[in-house]
Each structure stands twice: as structure tokens, then as C-alpha cells.
Structure 1
Amino acid sequence: MTTHQFSYGGKSLPVTVLGLGPMGQALAGAFLDSGHPTTVWNRTPGKADSLAARGAARAGSVAEAVAAGPLTVVCVIDYEAVHAIVDSAADALRGRTLVNLTADSPDQARAMAAWAAAHGIDYLDGAITTPTNTIGGPHAAILYSGPDDVYATHRTALTALGGTGVHLGTDPGRAAAYDVALLDIFWTTMSGVVHAFALARAEGIDPTALAPFAQAGMGALPGIVGGYADRIAAGEHPGDRSSILSASAGMEHVVRTARARGIDTEVLGAARDIVRRAVDDGHGGEGFSRMSELLMNDLPIRRPGKLSRVH
């Protein structure tokens, strides 16, 4: 670990926050509320006004901001933006800790960790899995990955962000891997939600009339997710309750109805086509959880002009 042994006479650890979009402002506000001397920087200085009014120190440059204490937290749109901010301040960050709460891919996280190591910067990658309004409260959920000792050093300060902080291990890409998997669930689900409302409206159904039935149906999802996880972990996919074949039929009903009403079916149509191929390959009688393995290893993926398999 390269972090300097800073001492503040028992006072709360000074923290720097880079990037003051909605999430960055929430993070800085949570540190302020917990009594941490907080320095902030944003490319557009005016975004720091409300935090400065609450006691945050406004830095004139990134280097000045990170020099204010041993812990810097950055949260911006992607890792390209992170590099645009911190690359010029690498010397100032040397011997300090950078916690990157920006969402991006696991490979980007690992590359960022390698960059930090090359510059003598302790590094934690993280993923915020709850909205801005949860930050600082009991329902916040933040995942971290990176060296155990770096997380242990700053764990107390990071509790200011509220809720549950979970360290997933030393692989710097692990938090991002969890994040993209969870985002996969969320955005695939939300795509289905807006498509369902479009289909309902085309049939003259008021969205507010459909919503209670949709909410009741989605209430079963936590149990389904847990059950599928168990089946996938065990490699067992019984189709006694619901099979890939029946899923294919259900998807076809939706696609046919939507097309008849002139509604785009590209998303569900693509999913239906993959399920059909699983049936054609002889997996129709298995449970739908089997699709997770087929997507990884066995299922032919047809692209324009060629046939390939996922590896």
C-alpha cells in the first residue's frame, strides 16, 4: 500500500470529490453531512455553488483538489471522462487513494487500476447500484473491489455514503462486473415495461389500469431470480413447470400482437429468435434457466451472412 500516513488529530478524514453531476453532488453532500472536510471540483465551477454554501471547499484545479487529503472519489459519465480529469493530476495523486465510482465495463476498471498502480496511486473501483436519493441514507448500496488493505484503510470514511458497502475482493473489475450484470437485468426489464405499455395503449388499455397487474406479476421476480440462480449454479434445468418451448410460444404471441398494431418488435423479436434456436437445437423441454448456459457456450448465434457460436 502506498498511501501516506496522514494524521488529522482525531478529526474526520478530509475527502475530495471530483465530478458534480447529480450523483457526485449526492456523494459530496453525504461526506459533508458526516462531518468530513470535503473539497470539490467540477469542470463547470458553478455546479459547486450549493455544496460550497454547505461548507465544501471549492478547488480551482484537479491537482489542488486531490492535494487536500488522502482520499479522492471520482464519479462521472465514463472512464474516458475519468482519465480526462485525473491524468493531469497523477503526480498529485501519487501516494494517495483514488476511489472510482464511475460506471463502466470490468475491463475498463482493470485498465484504470493498472494506470493507478503505474503512477503509485492506491485504487478502488466501485459501483453505485441505487439512485442518488439513497446516498447517505440506509438504503444506499455501493460495491467496491480492489486491494483489501486499501479498502480497510478507507472503509470508515466510505460509510458516510450510507447503507451497505460491500467489498467484493481484490480483482478491480469485480464491482463493475456485478454492475453491468445488474444493469442488464434493469434495462432489459425496463425495455419490456415501456414496450408493454405501448402494446396496452394500442389495445385501448390505460397504462394506469395495467400497472397494478404488472406490479403484481413483477412481484414474483425475486423468487424467480433466486430459483434460476440455484438452478444455474447446480447445472440443473427441469422444465416441469415452464419450458423453453412454452417461453417461445409466449414470446410469439406478444410479437404477433405487437406487429399487428405497428409496434416495433426488434428487442423481443431478437430474444424470441434466440429461444427458437434453442428449441431447434433440442432444448425445448428444458427449463428457461438453461438459456444462461446456452448463451455462453452452445447456442448458435446467427448474424447477417454467417453462423457462429458464442465463446
Structure 2
Amino acid sequence: MTNQAAAQRVSVIGLGAMGTALAKALLAGGHEVTVWNRTPARAEALVADGARVATSSAEALTAADLLIVCVLDDAAVREHLEPVAARLRGRTVVNLTTTTPEQARSSGRWARAAGVELIDGGIMAIPDMIGGPGAFVLYSGAGAAFARYRSVLELFGAAEFVGEDLGAAAMYDVSILGGMYAMFAAFHQGGAMVRTTGGTAARLAELMTPFLQAMATTLTAQAPGIDTPAEYVQPQSDEFTAAAIDLIDKSAAESGNPTELYGGLRRTLVGR
């Protein structure tokens, strides 16, 4: 990650665990940071690091050129931005609040009408990871603004721009999280199954982790089957995949742990 050559004026709205981590990364990077939070005590905790505390979100939003918003939800974003729309013209807003893709696009329509450059983001890290080598953040929307402030945004983690469609970052975000939760669900299901043989979920984790890590490396090879299916030659037939999933499903039932998980996987992977 690189540092911005000249200090930027940046405001951070929302100081939960993640917003606080973002503000700390900006301060460590040498930027002039104004912060605001609904609970003032959270904001004051950053003063020792050099932050200036605003008395209102409106004050914070108009105190800088780059505005980072990390609040509860889409409604909270609008609550803070819309009343000061006229004063935000020409500024760049980076919304790191978790929203749906369509909520991000709706915010984009509002931003265009207000003359605001909007970047939507999806943080692929927990607060303790911010600024570290394992963190990355997905961004979409105003490409020129992203390029202008990229070195600032890289203070949070690797900055991955995924397209001008404002919904793109949110869509990549939820897709990645979907893979994570599918893995968690399969592990929980498998843990219950192996315990019926006297095994343990702990032992399953030891065996499953390196296997899944190896399988993850095949995702790139599978991508053409989704992007350009007409040209893709499957390494494994749908019939084989369906039979394998049916066998797992039957084994789950035999263990006394029937589930709808594998039926959903079968429909997703082979379409029936």
C-alpha cells in the first residue's frame, strides 16, 4: 500500500468498530481527519490520535473533500447525506456501509442529481485487519474519483475497483460472502454427520481445511464455464456431479441429519 504524498482532508461518518478502524488508518497515514458519531464518546477517543471531532454529521460532511460513510444501513446513509445535498456538490463520498446492489445504484442516482461523486465499497475484512496485508476493499462507481483518491483508500487495504456500475462492489461483496456462508453451512452439516461415527468436528476441520484450500485454486479454471459457457469443456459431467451430491445427501439422511442444503447445491450446479 502507498501513502498519499500530500495530506488530504477526510471526514469519517460513523465510528463503530469498523469506522473507528478506518479513521485510525487515515490518521496513521498523515491525513487531516474530521470524525463524527451519534455517540460522541466514540469520536472523542480518536482525538489523541489527531482527529477533529465535529458536533454534527452535517459539519463533518462539509469539512472535507473526501467523505467516508460507514454507518448502520442505507437508511442511515440517506439520513445524513440528503439534508446537506446542496453543500456536498463537487465532493467525493465513499460509502462503505453494507447495502444491496440496488440500494447502491439508487444512491448513485441521488448523487448524480446532487453533483456528488459517489464510490460504493464493500469491506472484505474485520476491523482488526484494516491496514494490514490481508484486508481488501471492493469499490465501484465514479472511476475518476477512485483513481484520484486510490492512495488514500489503500490505507484500508488493497483497493479493488470492480466497475462503474455502482452496484458492482455490493454484488461482488455478497457473492464472496455467499461462498463463505455456504462453506460454513457445509462444515456445520459435516460436523454433525461425522459425530455419528464417533468423530469430531475438530478432526473434520483439520482434514477439510487443506482440501478446501486446494479446491479454491480451481475457481479460476471454472470461471469460463460461467462467463463463456458455450466454449467451456467441463472436467466433470453434470451426471457425475448430480450423483455425487445425491450420495452425500443420502449419507446425511442415514446419519440422522437430513438437510435441504445439498438439494440447493444440486439445483445450482446442475440445474435440477
Q: 1:246 aligns with which of 237, 243, 250?
A: 243
Q: Is the 8 A contact 1:101 1:126 kept in 2?
A: yes
Larger Rg: 1
1:54 match: 49
1:24 and 2:49 aligned: no
1:188 match: 182
Change in Cα spacing, 1:123 to 1:133, as seen in structure 2 (3 Å) is same
1:169 match: 163
Shift of 1:180: 1.5
Q: Is the 8 A contact 1:109 1:172 kept in 2?
A: yes
Q: Is the 8 A contact 1:14 1:69 kept in 2?
A: yes
Cα-to-partner distance string for 1:57-87 (whole Å, 9 max, x where unaligned): 1111111101221010111232122112322
Tell me the amino acid that sits aligned with residue 218 of structure 1. L
Aligned counterparts of 2:218 and 2:142: Cα–Cα separation in 1:
34
Normalised TM-score (structure 1): 0.77
1:98 and 2:83 aligned: no
Could you list the structure 1 runs, at least 4 aligned residues long, displaced by more than 6 angstroms after superposition.
none
Q: Is the 8 A contact 1:20 1:41 kept in 2?
A: yes
Shift of 1:199: 2.9
Q: 2:205 aligns with which of 211, 214, 220?
A: 211
1:130 match: 125
Change in Cα spacing, 1:205 to 1:50, as seen in structure 2 (3 Å) is farther
Aligned length: 265
Cα-Cα RMSD: 2.3
Change in Cα spacing, 1:90 to 1:225, as seen in structure 2 (3 Å) is same
1:233 and 2:223 aligned: no
Secondary structure in 2 matching 1:161: coil
Decide which moves more: 180-189 or 28-37: 180-189
Alignment of 1:221-300 (within 5 A): 221-235=215-229, 236=232, 237-239=234-236, 243-258=240-255, 260=256, 263=257, 265-272=259-266, 274=267, 288=269, 291=270, 294=271
In the alignment, structure 2 segments of 5+ residues that lack a partner are: none
Shift of 1:256: 0.9
Tell me the amino acid that sits aligned with residue 81 of structure 2. V
**Which structure has the higher relative contact order (CA within 8 Å, separation 6+)?**
2
1:5 match: none
Tell me the amino acid that sits aligned with residue 157 of structure 1. V
Q: Is the 8 A contact 1:75 1:101 kept in 2?
A: yes
Secondary structure in 2 matching 1:142: strand
Identity of aligned residues (%): 36
Shift of 1:174: 1.4
Normalised TM-score (structure 2): 0.87
Aligned counterparts of 1:254 and 1:78: Cα–Cα separation in 2:
41
In the alignment, structure 1 segments of 5+ residues that lack a partner are: 1-9, 276-287, 300-311
Shift of 1:242: 7.8
